[in-house]
Amino acid sequence: MLKTEPIMLIEENSNDVENILGILKSQNEKHSWFHFRTTAEALEHMENKDILPQLIILGLKNRDFESIEFLRKIKADYNLRKIPLVIMASSTDQNHVLESFNLGVAGYIVKSQDNTELAGIISTMMRYWNLSELPYIEG
């Protein structure tokens, strides 16, 4: 269960970050957040910190090499691979969905550009992860 454990958001689009974090605050989510614009910054943080996220939300506009390598590194590391990773993408391309699941993601969610719909998506996602029993991740 997440309760108030930290969540990592990796998203380069500042408008999406503002919308997502604003929605979470309006829904009274009590989690601490790590936000990084790039997967390289996020990976560096995880390699150098004692506190690891209990959930990673990776925002993707495109399936680029950097994101694929990030997923491979996370899933290859004994401690990091236990962290559930959810993709929030603009793409509905089934090749992207299949590739993401083949790399071990816990979910693939398509971002809506409509804020009301996005709020519903985020609410449902957080309700699910708040109810899920998760492994304790040590840094």
How confident is the prediction along the chain (139 residues), in pLDDT tens digits per residue? 556 678 899 998 888 889 888 888 887 777 788 899 999 899 988 888 778 898 999 987 655 667 888 888 999 988 889 999 999 988 888 888 898 899 999 999 998 889 899 999 999 998 898 888 877 776 6
Angle (deg, nearest 10), helices 14-26 and 115-131 = 60
State how far the Cα of 83 lies from the Cα of 36, in Å rounded to an integer: 16
61 phi/psi in degrees, rounded to 5: -95, -35
| Measured distance CA(108)–CA(98) in Å, rounded | 9
Q: How far apart are CA 8 and CA 97, in angstroms?
A: 21
The DSSP code for 112 is P
Torsion of CA 76, 137, 125, 39, to 10 degrees: -50
pLDDT at 42: 92
What confidence score (pLDDT) does residue 90 get?
83
Q: How many CA atoms lie within 13 A of 53 on its CB side?
A: 25
What integer pLDDT is reported at residue 105 of this predicted model?
93
Q: Which domains, from first to last, does the chain contain?
A: 22-131 (3.40.50.2300)
- What pLDDT is stored for residue 3 in this prediction? 63
The pTM of the full predicted model, rounded to 2 decimals, is 0.88
Identify the pLDDT of residue 9.
Answer: 93
Both tokens of residue 101?
Answer: 């699941």
